[in-house]
Amino acid sequence: MTTLSPEILDQLAGQGIELPSWAFGNSGTRFRVWTTEGTPRDPYEKIADAAKVNEYTALAPSVALHIPWDKVDSYDDLRSHAEGLGVALGTINSNTFQDEDYKFGALTHHDDRIRRKAVDHHLECIDIMDATGSRDLKIWLAEGSNYPGQTDMRARQDRLQDSLQQIYDRLGDDQRLVLEYKFFEPSFYHTDVPDWGTSYAQVASLGDKAMVCLDTGHHAPGTNIEFIVMQLLRLGKLGSFDFNSRFYADDDLIVGAADPFQLFRIVFEVVRGGGLNNPDVAFMLDQCHNVEDKIPGQIRSVLNVQEMTARALLVDREALDVAQRENDVLAANAVFMDAFYTDVRPALAQWRESRGLPADPMAAYAASGHQQRLAAERVGGTQAGWGA
């Protein structure tokens, strides 16, 4: 069995992966949102489910909220509820893609009234951050156009910069703005923030408290995502990850499900660039569990990230450096592949047991009967889901 050194175990012990509250609600595709028994009916139950993931893995110490999906009367009460379950409230995600006014844009809209409404929504999100103790405001924009000539793309960039500056100026000293990007969808001709370069250009002009969020599913097929990770770390602008997996587009599947080697390569660049357990680089999931149960789906996800982190930490950096300097292409690649093919699961299981955790969190959760109890107890009310 492969042995993980004390140094590697120390780094793994410090790893934390933020869970998205929306992953515990019902989700689906453009065609159907599927319901499942035991789905949370409010933000309190979403946080309880996220805390259960942390209980079995010790990998998920915080929960991201989505506004207005997770609006409550008292954020102080929600914060106390989370802390009582052993987790913190994390990133606050804004939403400018489900209001009729935002059909043709929000932060980029030519109508001052609509743009003011979108900016004010983000200022409200910062008020919520003040109440929850959250550091990051994450912005993803579904804005753009479907047809050539439909809109003035340059003017929209100027309006976006002005809107972001207004939001940025409201941030507290210890708060950050994190701007996500997405290649396409729902805008198919142009998207206002389609790539890391556009996101970087926008946040770089705002200031030190503005960063880029990299969603692993938001790229064109064949994109070298680890190169982007390297570049953003090099520039000091990688603020957070949204980990998920994709086969074709923004599939939001369990991270590592489609291409575990890609996840390994990404995490290696994080390690190499000083991003692992770096408070300035937040690890978060952004997934939708359409056909599988939510809690075990999230357990599997954080375990996949942990496993690939352990493998990335096993890369023999000294041997790799020698091979690279000697231009020994095959030897360098072999160092990578040796680490990737190492089965770290038995060592991780043993380590979990030594920390009082189940060796196999997936099996332990399945045997606990908790999923069945949720189905029996959460009867009545409206299940949470997209737009809930």
pLDDT in tens, 274-333: 999 999 999 999 999 999 999 999 999 999 999 999 999 999 999 999 999 999 999 999
Contact (CB, 8 A) for 14 and 373: no
Helix, strand, or coil here: 368? helix
Helix residue spans in 192-288 (DSSP H): 196-204, 225-235, 260-272
The reported pLDDT for the residue numbered 387 is 61
Contact (CB, 8 A) for 101 and 114: yes
Cα torsion angle, 306, 309, 313, 319, sign:
positive
The reported pLDDT for the residue numbered 20 is 98
32 pLDDT higher than 90: no
151 pLDDT higher than 90: yes
Exposure string for 277-291, b = 16+ CB within 10 A, e = fewer: beeebbbbbbbbbbe
Determine the angle formed by the axes of helices 6-13 and 345-354, rounding to 10 degrees: 70
Environment class of residue 341 by beta-carbon count within 10 Å: exposed (0-12), middle (13-18) or buried (19+)?
A: exposed
The reported pLDDT for the residue numbered 180 is 98
Mean pLDDT of 355-373: 98
353 pLDDT higher than 60: yes
Helix, strand, or coil here: 97? coil
Q: Where are the domains of the chain?
A: 8-317
The reported pLDDT for the residue numbered 343 is 98
Phi-psi region of 144 (alpha: psi -120 to 50; beta: other; left: phi over 0): left
Contacts 24+ apart (CB under 8 A), 258-263: 260/304, 260/308, 261/340, 262/216, 262/225, 262/226, 263/216, 263/304, 263/305, 263/308
Mean pLDDT of 191-202: 98
Mean pLDDT of 258-273: 98
For 92, the enclosing helix (H) or strand (E) is strand 88-93
240 pLDDT higher than 90: yes
Contact (CB, 8 A) for 309 and 281: no
Dist CA 306 CA 267 (whole Å)? 10
Mean pLDDT of 216-239: 97
Dist CA 257 CA 259 (whole Å)? 6
The reported pLDDT for the residue numbered 31 is 86
Dist CA 354 CA 344 (whole Å)? 16
The reported pLDDT for the residue numbered 30 is 79
Residue range 8-317, CATH number: 3.20.20.150
388 pLDDT higher than 60: no
Q: Cis omega (within 30 of 0) on the bond before 186?
A: yes
What is the residue-averaged pLDDT of the chain? 97
Contact (CB, 8 A) for 13 and 278: no
The reported pLDDT for the residue numbered 178 is 98
User: pTM of whole model > 0.95?
Assistant: yes
Exposure string for 2-30, b = 16+ CB within 10 A, e = fewer: eebeeebbebbeebbbbbbbbbbbbbeee
